[in-house]
Structure 1
Amino acid sequence: MVEEKRVDLTEQVRRWARVVYDHQRLGEEPRRCDVAVVLGSHDIGVADRAAELYRRDLFDRMVITGANSPTTLARFPRGEAVHYRERVVELGVPESAVLMETEATNTGENLRLARALLDRAGIAPATVMFVCKPYMERRAHATVLKQWPEVEALCASAPLDFDAYLPTVGDDRLVLDTMVGDLQRVMEYPARGFAVPQSVPEDVREAFHGLVAAGFDRHLLPDT
């Protein structure tokens, strides 16, 4: 059990966080896809959402992908994909519907290794649902467009606004640090060839800089 870590956030920080969170969500309506790729992270709610969408018959197979990172080791000591797989099976997804990839340590590897696993299984999807954290949708979509452009991609996450989502993780600082880092990657990764460019409005950039100035900077790129 990971200890809950709540932070007394100021209302200004909450306003900035809502702006960033809302921008990072795409708000796509889930629809039937050939397969799902479930992106591992510190948030076990991603596995819960994947299981829910499977029970709604929105895909027949899923690939759960993820090794570990400094932010997930304490929560998932045996690896993100291992714990996610256990969770979805516990929630009623048959083991035969789950493929597991345990080596990926970043989003690009998630996609590359999940795709290779599907290839080995003889599965060539035309449509893929990427299940992830709410504030990771935009970055996941931009990465897919760059690195797996052959598929029609749809992103899905917990249908919660920021204030409802934050307590589901139990670590306020981790959520804000990671959310700030995700937005920075949306802005920076196109120049590095990792993702397609995304429009980032000025109010979102201002919120980003406000959160960084407030100290939510632990997931920023190391050369920043």
Structure 2
Amino acid sequence: MADDTRTITQEQWQHAELIWEYHRMHHPARPCDVAVALGCNDIGVAEHAAERYHSGLFPLLVFTGGNSPSTAGVFPRGEAVHFRERALALGVPDASILVETKASNTGQNITYSHAALLADGVLPDSVLLLCMPYMERRAYATARKQWPDVEVVCSSAPLGLRDYAKRAGDAGAVIDMMVGDLQRVIEYPRIGFAIEQEVPQPVRDAYDSLVASGFDSRLIQR
């Protein structure tokens, strides 16, 4: 990401941190039959997947994702391809990795990964979803809708918002993306993409304030 050029006020940070904590599912780490790492523009997801693999939480890992406008320049050969290469470099054996290279959104990440596992003869009862921290809740809601017969556990890098934004290099863009993810948590159940989830009023108020402040580049245009 490019360096952030926006000045973020203390109040905006407070609102963003409230939304950040809402997005985190805070699931305890536990073993699952398989893991699915969702493609994105953050190679840290692949690194977290490797760490969780070496912790013994799952025997088989699916990397899913082709390209989107926000990732084509970062991962020109596709998100899953680059994620696999990073995991291999971190010691995950190739025999423990499946690669799905066609998905271009979160719903496809879930359904295409399910299909790839079925094609490999794997019928899991539990799935560890690995993703960016602010994407946990939307990934969970999508998986519960699109793959309802498995238990879903979420995991992401254990970072606070400010540390994550510093690593990303563009705090404004991170806030834009997590605001966009919250909009999808709210809107997607109405069109059948995800299960309904309660959004506490303070989180909704923080969302409204950040949108009004211009953190709106990732919103769905109605």
Q: TM-score, normalising length from structure 1? A: 0.95
CA distance in 2, matches of 1:25, 1:198: 13
1:58 aligned partner: 57
Q: Do residues 46 (structure 1) and 45 (structure 2) align?
A: yes
Deviations 1:91-110 (A, max 9, x none): 11111111111111111100
- Give how far 1:77 is off: 1.6
**Cα shift at 1:19:** 0.6
Describe the shift of the 1:4–1:74 C-alpha distance in structure 2 as closer, same or farther (beyond 3 A). farther
Partner of 1:165: 164
SS in structure 2 of the partner of residue 197 of structure 1: coil
Does 2:132 correspond to 1:133?
yes
Distance 1:187 1:22 in 2: 16
How many Å separate the matches in 2 of 1:5 and 1:84? Answer: 25
- How far the C-alpha of 1:3 sits from its partner, in A, is 4.5
What is the SS of the residue equivalent to 1:153?
strand
Deviations 1:126-147 (A, max 9, x none): 0100000111111111111111
Structure 2 CA distance, aligned partners of 1:64 and 1:6? Answer: 33
Which letter maps to 2:99? M
AA partner of residue 112 (structure 1)? T
Cα-to-partner distance string for 1:148-191 (whole Å, 9 max, x where unaligned):
01001100001111122211222223211111111000000010
Instruction: Structure 2: give runs of 5+ residues left out of the alignment.
Output: none
* Count of residue pairs the alignment pairs up: 222
Q: How does 1:1-224 map to 2 (within 5 A)?
A: 3-5=2-4, 7-223=6-222
In the aligned structure 1, how far is the partner of 2:48 from the partner of 2:164?
A: 13
Question: Could you tell me how far apart the structure 2 residues matched to 1:9 and 1:73 are?
Answer: 28
* 8 Å Cα contact 2:65/2:101 also seen in 1: yes
Q: Once the 2 structures are TM-superposed, how far is the Cα of residue 6 of structure 1 from its aligned partner? A: 5.9
- Deviation string 1:174-222 (CA, Å, 9 cap, x unpaired) is 2111111110000000100111110001110111111111111111112
1:6, 1:170 within 8 Å by CA — same for their partners in 2? no
For residue 103 of structure 2, give the secondary structure of its aligned residue in structure 1.
Answer: coil
Alignment RMSD: 1.2
**Take 2:128 and 2:119, find their aligned partners in 1: how far apart are those partners?**
19
**Contact in 1 for aligned 2:8/2:172 (Cα 8 Å):** no
Deviation at 1:5, TM superposition (A): 4.0
Tell me which moved more, 64-73 or 149-158.
Answer: 64-73
- Distance 1:116-1:29 versus aligned 2 partners, 3 A rule: same
Counterpart CA distance in 2 for 1:82 and 1:116 is 18
Separation in 2, partners of 1:6, 1:134:
23
Q: Which amino acid aligns with 2:174?
A: V
CA distance in structure 2 between the aligned counterparts of 1:88 and 1:159, rounded to whole angstroms: 18
Q: Does the CA-based 8 Å contact 2:36-2:61 persist in structure 1?
A: yes
Contact preservation (8 Å) 1:107, 1:140: yes
Secondary structure of the 2:145 match is: helix
Equivalent position amino acid for 2:109 in 1: N
